[in-house]
Structure 1
Amino acid sequence: MAPWALVSPASRGIGFALTRHILQTSRVPVVATVRKDRDVVKEQLLDGLGADEGRLHVLECDVLDESSIEAASSRCEDLFPVKEGNGLHLGLVIPGILFPEKSPRQIDADNALLTFRTNTLGPLLMLKHFEHFLPTKQINNTSASEVEGLPSAAIMALMSARVGSITDNKLGGWYSYRASKAAINQVVKTFDNYLRTKAGDEAFSVGLHPGTVKTGLSKEFWGSVKKEKLFEREWVAERLIDVLREKAKKVEESRGRCWDWDAKEVSP
């Protein structure tokens, strides 16, 4: 099975850094999705890397539009036909939006709906249209050399957050964001149960918590975060891939759970 990787979205923030990191540290083709400015983003992703331009495929995909997701999936089938032995080895589905409601009075119905559509429903629809690219018990001929630099088993990783943990919720606030990430943890577990049956140890699903990263999502809160806990996106990208590589060595212990940048579990 010829492996490839998916990062969605990849135009900025952690997704941008993850795409560049995979291009630098592996040899697999990478599909990076954007909502617009495809050519501009491709140039930015490749800038200074010295990577083979032919390995990077930048596709338009908007998680708020299922037809867009379906079209991106169809294009991936053209690029990497499953019937020819190709397979998705690493999927990183990481859209995110945050409206920081501090009290119930600040909850806006439209903003809350957009939060769930972006953070939860979007990734769910990505699973719908991309899960068939993952290996199965019957079809997986990937060799260790082909995925050097990546996890040894296929992984579909969704972006969660520590604030999605019900157990860890000591402060309250951020109602819609917390709820959308708690829902992602349920999606991860449910999808992993599906993969357990379909793929066994060949593929599994996890949630990821990157910590507080210097991106547009968290910019409003940088001042309240200790310097040593505010991470650069490049460093976080490297750490998350390292965590996934570590967890792939122990699939049964790792699958269906949420892991932070330090490889520690975030409780449900």
Structure 2
Amino acid sequence: MQPWALVTPASRGIGLELARRLLQTTNVPVVATARKDLDQTREHVLKGLTDVKEERLHVLRVDVLDEHSISSAASEAARLFPRKEAYLHLSLCMPGLLFPEKSPTQIDYDDALLTFRTNTLGPMMLLKHFSPFLPRKSTELVQAAGLPKQAVWATMSARVGSISDNQLGGWYSYRASKAAVNQVTKTFDNYLRTSAGDKALSISMHPGTVKTGLSKEFWSNVKEGKLFTADFAAEKLMDVINSRSLNDRGRCWDWKGEEVPP
């Protein structure tokens, strides 16, 4: 069986750096997705990776607001990696959008709806179409260098999605959408317990505050040493993913490997 990895989206930020890191630290094929400019995304992922075989990278179009694009990408993945011959060992589900409402009066219906469609429904639709590629109980896993022991479906969450840790308020739609992501993670992991047993697990991840477009408005408010580069975040997140055990399933973990409480 051939293991492969999925990074969606991978056009910029942490997703881009995760795709690059997987190409450098593993030997498995990597499916990277972008909403547009697929050739440019491919160029950015491969930039400077002179020792990487370019045929290992497959760039597919996925717009998490368009289920048809997700379905079409899954069909292409099935062509590239027939389920009798390959399985999805690592899925990095990264969609994210933030509108920072500081008070209830700043909540805009359309912006809040777009936040949930991107941050919560996007990962749910990716689950719908790509989770069938994950191993089943009968699948013989391949231990590949640079990848976790079990197959892992990892979805980007955030510390502000924690209800018990919410001391400041604000960011209503973003907080709620990420809390929902953590619920989806737990629910999906319950499903994997039945379908895959100890062969696959689901977790959420908190990368810290990363210097990307998502957080640009808040860079000046971050404590010294706590604003991370996307490359650093990708390195730390892969360390966390690769060190998870079955006891860690269904929960949210930060870049240090510490649990983010529900």
TM-score normalized with structure 1 length: 0.96
1:125 aligns with 2:86: no
Partner residue of 2:80? 79
Contact 2:136 2:196 in 1 (8 A): yes
1:96 aligns with 2:93: no
State the Cα RMSD in Å: 0.6
Q: Deviations over 1:183-217 (max 9, x none)?
A: 00000000000000011110000000000000000
Partner residue of 1:163? 160
The whole-number CA distance in structure 2 between the counterparts of 1:196 and 1:214 is 36
Secondary structure of 1:90's aligned partner:
strand
The whole-number CA distance in structure 2 between the counterparts of 1:227 and 1:90 is 33
Partner residue of 2:259? 265
Contact 2:3 2:142 in 1 (8 A): no
The whole-number CA distance in structure 2 between the counterparts of 1:113 and 1:86 is 36
Q: Once the 2 structures are TM-superposed, how far is the Cα of residue 143 of structure 1 from its aligned partner?
A: 2.6
Q: Deviations over 1:164-188 (max 9, x none)?
A: 0000000000000000000000000
Q: Once the 2 structures are TM-superposed, how far is the Cα of residue 150 of structure 1 from its aligned partner?
A: 1.0
Partner residue of 1:58? 59
Partner residue of 1:205? 202
1:255 aligns with 2:249: yes
Q: Deviations over 1:124-148 (max 9, x none)?
A: 0000001110001112x2332xx10
Secondary structure of 1:163's aligned partner:
helix
Contact 2:141 2:199 in 1 (8 A): no
Q: Deviations over 1:89-142 (max 9, x none)?
A: 000001000000000000000000000000000100000001110001112x23
Secondary structure of 1:227's aligned partner:
coil
1:228 aligns with 2:202: no
Q: AA paired with 1:9?
A: P
1:137 aligns with 2:137: yes
The whole-number CA distance in structure 1 between the counterparts of 2:94 and 2:42 is 18
Partner residue of 1:29? 29
The whole-number CA distance in structure 1 between the counterparts of 2:58 and 2:91 is 14
Q: AA paired with 1:204?
A: L
Secondary structure of 1:151's aligned partner:
coil
Q: List alignment gaps of at least 5 residues for structure 2.
A: none
Secondary structure of 1:218's aligned partner:
helix
Query: Among the aligned pairs, what percent are the same residue?
Result: 64
Partner residue of 1:41? 41
The whole-number CA distance in structure 1 between the counterparts of 2:64 and 2:224 is 33
Q: Once the 2 structures are TM-superposed, how far is the Cα of residue 239 of structure 1 from its aligned partner?
A: 0.6
The whole-number CA distance in structure 2 between the counterparts of 1:143 and 1:184 is 29
How many residue pairs align between the two structures? 261
233, 237, 241: which is aligned to 2:238?
241
The whole-number CA distance in structure 1 between the counterparts of 2:8 and 2:47 is 19
Q: Once the 2 structures are TM-superposed, how far is the Cα of residue 227 of structure 1 from its aligned partner?
A: 2.0
Q: List alignment gaps of at least 5 residues for structure 1.
A: none
Partner residue of 1:218? 215
Q: AA paired with 2:258?
A: K
